[in-house]
């Protein structure tokens, strides 16, 4: 399967989630030296007392350092006024864990996971295939 087919397959699987939203722009965590393309977001609303807490995971594909790509995600948790929500709560943690598991499960179907095999004092890392 070539890269474009892999991206399309992952996007198709993500879009099967009922709370999937297609995004056409990069998020606020875009790295200028490693451009990314957003594959979409999935939102989950958790109700706490009179507040709505939105847990949103955004899947991205980012260019690799020398070659290839990195499938990644980032998470935003906000209250109903748009402020970052940082209070530990079991319901929010469960929603977060479920969304991460969903995205990581899709990624694992189409990719090979790498593990860190060496780290240099300047921060550079060498990765190898997971056994």
Task: Report which of residues 103 and 28 the model is more confident about.
Answer: 103
Task: Give the pLDDT band of residue 42 (cuts 50, 70, 90).
Answer: very high
Q: What share of the chain is helix, strand, coil (3-state, %, to 5)?
A: 25, 40, 35
Six-digit token string for 5: 């087919």
Domain count, the chain: 1
- Rounded to 5°, angle at Cα 17 from 9 and 85: 115
Question: Has residue 59 got a pLDDT over 70?
Answer: yes
| Conformational region of residue 7, where left means phi above 0, alpha means psi within -120 to 50, and beta covers everything else | alpha
Percent of the chain with pLDDT over 70: 90
CA distance 60 to 122: 27
pLDDT one-digit tens code per residue, 67-104 = 778 898 999 999 888 889 887 789 999 999 999 999 99
The pLDDT value recorded for residue 45 is 93
Contact (Cβ atoms closer than 8 angstroms) between residue 34 and residue 63: yes
Is the model's pLDDT at 29 over the cut of 70? no
Q: Domain of residue 56: give its range.
A: 3-129
**Cα dihedral 87, 92, 94, 96 in deg (nearest 10):** -100
Q: Any idea which of 35-39, 55-59, 75-79, 88-92 has the lowest mean pLDDT? A: 35-39
The answer, yes or no, to whether residue 47 has pLDDT greater than 80, is yes
Task: Identify the CATH number of the domain in which residue 32 sits.
Answer: 3.30.530
């Amino acid at each position: 399967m070539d890269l474009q087919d892999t991206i399309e397959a992952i996007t198709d699987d993500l879009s099967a989630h009922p709370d999937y939203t297609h995004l056409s722009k990069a998020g606020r965590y875009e790295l200028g030296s490693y451009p990314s393309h957003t594959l979409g977001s999935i939102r989950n609303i958790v109700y706490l007392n009179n507040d709505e807490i939105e847990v949103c995971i955004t899947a991205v594909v980012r260019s690799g350092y020398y070659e290839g790509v990195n499938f990644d995600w980032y998470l935003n948790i906000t209250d109903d006024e748009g402020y970052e929500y940082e209070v530990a709560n079991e319901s929010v943690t469960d929603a977060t864990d479920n969304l991460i598991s969903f995205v990581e499960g899709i990624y694992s179907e189409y990719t090979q996971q790498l593990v860190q095999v060496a780290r240099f004092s300047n921060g550079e890392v060498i990765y190898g295939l997971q056994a």
